[in-house]
């Protein structure tokens, strides 16, 4: 495995991969790697690409300094995991390498309208501009490739798909299923900040989503049940929404939709989601 810290070397390395007839599989991360990241890397390997991981805690996507400073950065462990999981190249740039004017504001910002406006976008101003900007930069320096993103950050995935479509990047986006622990909690680097009691409370989220997904239900049933389950577990509900999987609006056309949930447990913002089938007929309620 080769660790690279400059964008020019990364550009050259990914170009070499293509020149040798291989496809580049890029897995953008902020480190603190867990089994969820491993599943993205494994998917890139299974697809026959050369797995290239980027590790960069992007300050521009944190609208809260406390959250940024609390973000875990176990770089040595991350590199050991990448090696063990079969990664070929890892990009670990400094903040100055990615954003030369930092800590001054960067003049150029990429903004994706529409899909970013509600949910995480409403609760975390500037967050998606930061993600869109860093993802754009990574796509530009990596060049034609397949990029792997987890479905846990469903709104982020929808935004990245829109970005690629609008900007014409030669990048295939692959969304990969959420990975859960044995109790059902969606894996996230933030879970490390939960106490055992917080972890138990957080399980109400995946339980409620499982209930929502296990048979066709109306939007109202899902909304009421999921909210009530979270409140009962002492979770501060940021949002529960049943949306069209592409537009993230309430224009659900063919009965297939996504439930998006964000809840705050012990100050930690937890995201989860599940595909659901919407039943329009209310006469045969559960
Ligand atoms: O999902 C993440 O880890 C980050 O938002 C990403 C895509 C690596 C951009 O910093």
Q: In a structure prediction context, what are the per-residue pLDDT tens digits for the chain, which is 286 residues long?
A: 999 999 999 999 999 999 999 999 999 999 999 999 999 999 999 999 999 999 999 999 998 898 899 888 999 999 999 999 999 999 999 999 999 999 999 999 999 999 999 999 998 999 999 999 999 999 999 999 999 999 999 999 999 999 999 999 999 999 999 999 999 999 999 999 999 999 999 999 999 999 999 999 999 999 999 999 999 999 999 999 999 999 999 999 889 999 999 999 999 999 999 999 999 865 444 4
Query: What pLDDT sits at residue 284?
Result: 44
Ligand 1 pocket mutation, candidates 36, 129, 134, criterion most atoms within 8 A of CB: 134
Residue 26's pLDDT is: 99
What pLDDT is stored for residue 246 in this prediction? 92
Separation of CA 232 and ligand 1 centre (Å): 31
3-state secondary structure of 64: coil
Calculate ∠ Cα 15-37-277, nearest 5°. 115
Q: In what order do the strands lie in the sheet with 89-91?
A: 2-4, 89-91, 49-55, 23-29, 145-150, 171-176
* Whole-number pLDDT of residue 106: 96
pLDDT at 285: 46
Nearest atom in ligand 1 to 189's CA: 3
The H or E element that residue 9 is part of is helix 7-19
Contact 27, 17 (CB under 8 A): no
Count of Cβ atoms closer than 10 Å to residue 26 Cβ: 27
Q: Tell me which fold the domain 2-176 belongs to.
A: Rossmann fold (3.40.50)
Nearest CA to ligand 1 atom 1: 29
Residue of minimum CA distance from atom 6 in ligand 1: 29
pLDDT of amino acid 282? 52
Task: Give residue 253's pLDDT.
Answer: 81
> For 209-230, how does the pLDDT look when each residue is reduced to its tens digit (9 = 90+)?
999 999 999 999 999 999 999 9
Three-state SS letters, 70-96: HCCCCHHHHHHHHHHCCCCEEECCCHH
Among candidate residues 137, 187, 183, the one with its CA nearest the CA of residue 35: 187
CA angle 94, 54, 10 (to 5 degrees): 75
State residue 70's pLDDT score: 86
Tell me, using a 6 A CB cutoff, whether residue 272 lines ligand 1: no
Architecture of domain 189-277 in this structure:
2-Layer Sandwich (3.30)
Output the CA 130–ligand 1 centroid distance in Å.
Answer: 9
Catalytic residues: 37
Residue-level pLDDT at 259: 98
- What number of CA atoms fall less than 13 Å from residue 80's CA on the CB side? 5
Ligand 1 contact, 135 CB (< 6 A): yes
Query: Which atom of ligand 1 lies closest to the CA of 58?
Result: 10
Is the CB of 28 inside a 6 Å radius of any atom of ligand 1? yes
Q: And the tokens for 17?
A: 């991969």
d(CA 168, CA 70): 35
Give start-end residues of each CATH 3.30.1300.10 domain in the chain: 189-277
CATH 3.40.50.620 boundaries in the chain:
2-176
């Amino acid at each position: 495995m080769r660790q690279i810290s400059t964008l020019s070397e990364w550009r050259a390395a990914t170009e070499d991969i293509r020149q040798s007839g291989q496809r580049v599989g890029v897995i953008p991360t902020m480190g603190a790697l867990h089994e969820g990241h491993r599943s993205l890397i494994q998917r890139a390997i299974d697809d026959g690409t050369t797995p290239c991981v980027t590790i960069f805690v992007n300050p521009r996507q944190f609208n809260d300094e406390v959250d940024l400073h609390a973000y875990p950065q176990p770089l040595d462990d991350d590199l050991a995991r990448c090696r063990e999981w079969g990664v070929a190249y890892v990009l670990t740039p400094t903040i100055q390498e990615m954003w030369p004017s930092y800590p001054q504001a960067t003049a150029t910002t990429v903004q994706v309208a529409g899909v970013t406006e509600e949910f995480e976008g409403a609760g975390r101003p500037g967050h998606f501009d930061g993600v869109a900007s860093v993802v754009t930069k990574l796509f530009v320096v990596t060049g034609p490739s397949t990029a792997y993103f987890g479905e846990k950050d469903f709104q982020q995935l929808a935004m990245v798909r829109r970005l690629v479509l609008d900007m014409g990047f030669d990048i295939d986006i692959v969304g990969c299923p959420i990975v859960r622990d044995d109790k059902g909690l969606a894996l996230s680097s933030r879970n490390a900040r939960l106490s055992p009691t917080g972890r138990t409370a957080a399980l109400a989220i995946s339980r409620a989503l499982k209930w929502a997904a296990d048979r066709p239900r109306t939007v109202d049933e899902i909304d009421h049940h999921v909210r009530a389950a979270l409140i009962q577990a002492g979770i501060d509900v940021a949002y529960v929404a049943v949306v069209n999987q592409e537009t993230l609006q309430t224009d659900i056309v063919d009965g297939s939709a996504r439930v998006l949930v964000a809840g705050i447990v012990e100050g930690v913002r937890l995201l989860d989601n599940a595909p659901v089938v919407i039943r329009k007929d209310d006469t045969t309620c559960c």
